[in-house]
């Protein structure tokens, strides 16, 4: 027996080292406790739900296309079979095993692949011509989001991660898409951006009527306890992840990350310079943007497995349209298109896991699908193959979302989120401009390049003999 083994502190350390990984802090620490037979929501929250069937009735077959499955394998001829909202088989040529009443779509000469994922969106962001009152107004924000959903759908994007929007708008959009009441990609919402008083996104007050107030997409917090409370507020509203932004103290960012992870949510951070170092030390899961950081911070990201969403394309637009990023204390450093691209190369060389996000603020969503393709081309220019860039936009982005068990690849058991492209995007990214079919959760939401809204089925008019006394309308 050693001297250390007799000390209470050493004994405590030995006991802690024997605790299984299940008890460690992290955004996934609740998932091992889930009963595999329990139906849960198809989002990172994993809330128990009714085991009732999901998705549309029947089977859908995408026959004879080039299948790029997102796993890293080369495209091959195959047929994808969908039942309700799940992929049940990827069949080799000549095998025709599917229900006789299945709807069959011929994809010969086209490419079938997982739906694209955009990890950095702001569905309710304002645009030219929108008044300050409407900018913060929930009704206007929701309608702006509905319009953007169409642009993402038409671009083959079947999942978007909304990383700060007005009020409850992103949660209502998520709900209505999930219920197939409006066409659109899956919405994974962070709720409000959490930042320090006067931090990124909260550097000015918005005039609303006769009053000035913070922007409704931003939650300012001060002190570690308030940062924890801000995280809980987003969780209560239905957040799928938590978004933080500089500025903050070490204690504040550590408290927010710890609270989010305890609740089972991942954390992504918009920060720069030493603030990135503090966020990574605190255990943040992802860092947004190509903003400056030290080589030490990059190596720390690599060691801790911190992912990154570089978002080069919005900064390309900023420098092309305005010549620089002005008016923000969180961007008061030298950076340029060249330095941003070099940051992407550094992250790749360090082995950082990289996902795809476009951060299309203002009215830049109207650049889709060009904007998404431009972002993928930055990956290729930095040393990715075209196939690897597409994997970044599908499988890797699903991993960063915490949804790799359900999305990102075309494999049996995965959710039926896929697109058909009239071309070979794994050889030419520009072919992504020709998306002809989009399926989300088993529902066809775009066909022949046009968004699909199924006609409603009229319900019978009320029967006077079946009137329910006291019913409220």
Name 195's Cβ contacts closer than 8 Å, sequence gap at least 6.
201, 202, 218, 219, 220, 221, 244, 245, 246, 247, 248
Question: How confident is the model at residue 206, as a pLDDT?
Answer: 47
The rounded mean pLDDT for the chain is 91
Kindly tell me if the per-residue pLDDT of 357 is higher than 60.
yes
- CB 134 within 8 Å of CB 127: no
Question: How confident is the model at residue 257, as a pLDDT?
Answer: 98
What average pLDDT does range 157-168 have in this prediction? Answer: 97
- CB 468 within 8 Å of CB 89: no
pLDDT band for position 205 (cuts 50, 70, 90) = low
Kindly tell me if the per-residue pLDDT of 464 is higher than 90.
no
Kindly tell me if the per-residue pLDDT of 10 is higher than 60.
no
Question: How confident is the model at residue 437, as a pLDDT?
Answer: 98
Higher pLDDT, 284 or 34: 284
What average pLDDT does range 293-311 have in this prediction? Answer: 98
Kindly tell me if the per-residue pLDDT of 273 is higher than 80.
yes
Kindly tell me if the per-residue pLDDT of 18 is higher than 80.
no
CA atoms of 435 and 116, how far apart (whole Å): 11
Ordered by where they begin, the domains of the chain are 48-114+408-454 (2.30.40.10), 116-407 (3.20.20.140)
Tokens 């955009």 correspond to 118
Cβ neighbours, 10 Å, residue 4: 11
Helix ranges (DSSP H) in 157-249: 169-178, 224-237
- CB 237 within 8 Å of CB 173: no
Kindly tell me if the per-residue pLDDT of 128 is higher than 90.
yes
Torsion of CA 174, 178, 181, 184, to 10 degrees: 70
Higher pLDDT, 205 or 30: 30
Kindly tell me if the per-residue pLDDT of 334 is higher than 70.
yes
Question: How confident is the model at residue 214, as a pLDDT?
Answer: 62
């Amino acid at each position: 027996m050693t001297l250390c083994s007799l000390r209470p502190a050493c004994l405590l350390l030995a006991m802690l080292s024997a605790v299984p990984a299940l008890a460690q802090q992290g955004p996934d620490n609740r998932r091992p406790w889930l009963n595999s037979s329990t139906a849960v929501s198809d989002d990172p929250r994993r809330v128990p739900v009714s085991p009732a069937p999901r998705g549309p009735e029947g089977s859908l077959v995408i026959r004879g296309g080039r299948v790029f499955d997102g796993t890293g394998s080369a495209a091959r001829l195959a047929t994808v079979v969908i039942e309700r909202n799940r992929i049940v088989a990827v069949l080799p040529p000549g095998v025709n095993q599917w229900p006789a009443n299945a709807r069959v779509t011929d994809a010969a000469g086209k490419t079938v692949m997982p739906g694209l994922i955009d990890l950095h969106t702001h569905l309710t962001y304002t645009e030219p011509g929108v008044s300050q009152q409407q900018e913060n107004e929930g009704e206007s924000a929701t309608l702006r989001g509905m319009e953007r959903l169409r642009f993402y759908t038409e671009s083959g994007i079947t999942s978007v991660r909304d990383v700060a929007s007005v009020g409850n708008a992103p949660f209502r959009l998520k709900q209505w898409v999930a219920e197939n009441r409006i066409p659109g990609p899956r919405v994974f919402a962070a709720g409000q951006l959490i930042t320090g008083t006067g931090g990124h996104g909260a550097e000015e007050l918005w005039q609303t009527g006769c009053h000035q107030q913070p922007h409704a997409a931003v939650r300012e917090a001060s002190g570690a306890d308030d940062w924890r409370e801000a995280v809980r507020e987003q969780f209560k509203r239905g957040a799928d992840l938590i978004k933080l932004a500089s500025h903050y103290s070490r204690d504040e960012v550590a408290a927010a990350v710890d609270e989010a992870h305890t609740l089972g949510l991942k954390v992504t951070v918009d920060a720069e310079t030493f603030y990135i170092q503090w966020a990574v030390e605190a255990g943040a899961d992802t860092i947004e943007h190509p903003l400056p950081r030290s080589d030490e911070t990059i190596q720390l990201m690599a060691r801790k497995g911190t992912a990154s969403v570089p978002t080069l394309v919005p900064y390309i637009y900023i420098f092309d349209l305005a010549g620089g990023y002005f008016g923000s204390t969180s961007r008061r450093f030298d950076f340029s298109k060249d330095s941003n691209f070099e940051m992407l190369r550094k992250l790749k060389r360090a082995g950082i896991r990289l996902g795809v996000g476009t951060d299309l603020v203002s009215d830049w969503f109207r650049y889709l699908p060009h904007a998404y393709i431009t972002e993928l081309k930055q990956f290729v220019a930095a040393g990715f193959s075209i196939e690897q860039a597409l994997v970044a936009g599908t499988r890797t982005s699903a991993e960063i979302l915490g949804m790799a068990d359900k999305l990102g690849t075309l494999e049996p058991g995965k959710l039926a989120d896929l697109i058909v492209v009239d071309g070979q995007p794994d050889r030419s990214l520009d072919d992504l401009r020709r998306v002809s079919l989009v399926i989300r959760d088993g529902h066809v939401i775009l066909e022949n390049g046009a968004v699909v809204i199924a006609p409603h089925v009229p319900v019978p008019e009320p029967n006077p003999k079946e009137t329910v006394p006291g019913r409220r309308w």
